[in-house]
Amino acid sequence: MADRRVMMIQQGARRNFIYARQLEAANLLHSLVTDAAWPQGGTALCRRLAERFVPRLRGSIERRTVQGLPDARLRASLLPNFASASKLFMHEERAFALIDEALAWPNRLRGLGGADIVLNYHGNGGSFLSYAKRLGASIVTDFVVTPKYLEIERRERLLWPGWENEKSSRSVIEFYRKRMSRLVALSDLYLCPSQAVARDLSDLPGFDAARVRILPYGASDVLLREARPEPGRVLFAGAAGLRKGIPYLAEAARILKHRRMHVEIAVAGSVSPMVRARPEVCDLTFLGVLDRERMADEFARADVFCLPSLAEGSAASIYEALANGVPVITTEASGSVVRDGVEGFIVPERDGEAIADSIWWILVNRPLRASMSAAALAAASRYSDEACGREFIGVIETLSRTRR
């Protein structure tokens, strides 16, 4: 039996605690350090109270129930949840640093407890990471998004005034860059969901290419429906903002309308009143935020999936499209596993005409659409939770053997 040497630190229920669950299944998990969370058998009373007094909390309790983890492995604290109130009066990246510290200090009191590998999501754990490093632990960081995303957002807001309020000042960008630079220098391994993230990490001081491990996330917990694609229906999923490339999708819609193509581009996700009011987006159909069931229906209806994102880690919505056999049009910056001309098309960033051309080519060439659909399903199988989990566990086991 493998040694339980890995402490997993994460805020929230990102990806349904999948790394912690995979480590537990491999007998590697020492503990999961997180904010509000419950073991699988410990939520019955919470659910009953929520149903009676605060029904809307039931969904949150379900999301934060850690499946397959015994009580002894869970270190949960409510302090980070209280600290999250700081997002009301400061930029989210400064708030995240404060929330990480709210998790760091209770964990310092408990100590490593025999763990000698600390795995964290994008700096979760704050100063505890450097504390653990001083005690001799190896630090493994999953960099979930490009470290340049704030810079990219600010550039887009300058290019598209009136679409979003400015939130990323130069001082915030510099604060975040320094924070990521410290994390790069501290980490013994960089888990990157895509080459795009590794590329942008390389611009930070202290970066060491030998520490990079490319680990795509995989199609996690996808709800599938019987495919019934509607010809000409293009789906976008995600927050309809500048970072996701929404102006370029809108430009593609105008081009296709001018070409008299029968196309409907549906946008599923949150959209601000500012974006919705822009005259440039009049050819997009905004569906709003959909629940899991309705989102599955939209993927089943989609003829093409399009995400012209400018800054991601590895977009989960693309894995969902692949699992539904939907050809994908996206950018290199999306961090996807899509191969140009196989499961879809990789288009240049900020290029509405290239998006329109790719949509047009798939819609008019039905044999191509069919072959891309088959390739998408095959890719989803290659990048399943099980397949990606084996790669992840292999990386951790190699590090563990090296430490021995």
Q: How far apart are CA 98 and CA 86, in angstroms?
A: 8
In terms of CATH, what superfamily is 233-382?
A: Glycogen Phosphorylase B; (3.40.50.2000)
The one-letter amino acid at 209? A
Tokens of 173: 């960008």
Tokens of 29: 């998990």
**91: CB partners within 8 A, 6+ apart:** 167, 168, 169, 172
Tokens of 248: 């370029």
- What are the extents of the domains in the chain? 6-218+385-403, 233-382
The pLDDT profile of the chain, 404 residues, written as one tens digit per residue, is 458 899 999 999 888 899 999 999 999 999 999 999 988 765 555 555 555 555 666 667 778 888 888 888 999 999 999 999 999 999 999 999 999 999 999 999 999 999 999 999 999 999 999 999 999 999 999 999 999 999 999 999 999 999 998 778 899 999 999 999 999 999 999 999 999 999 999 999 999 999 999 999 887 778 888 889 999 999 999 999 999 999 999 999 999 999 999 999 999 999 999 999 999 999 999 999 999 999 999 999 999 999 999 999 999 999 999 999 999 999 999 999 999 999 999 999 999 999 999 999 999 999 999 999 999 999 999 999 999 999 999 999 999 999 87
Supply the CATH classification number for the domain 6-218+385-403.
3.40.50
Picking from 126, 172, 130, the residue whose alpha carbon sits closest to that of residue 153 is 172
Question: What is the end-to-end Cα distance of the chain in Å, rounded?
Answer: 15
Q: How far apart are CA 40 and CA 47, in angstroms?
A: 12
Contact 310, 243 (CB under 8 A): yes
**115: CB partners within 8 A, 6+ apart:** 4, 5, 6, 7, 30, 31, 137
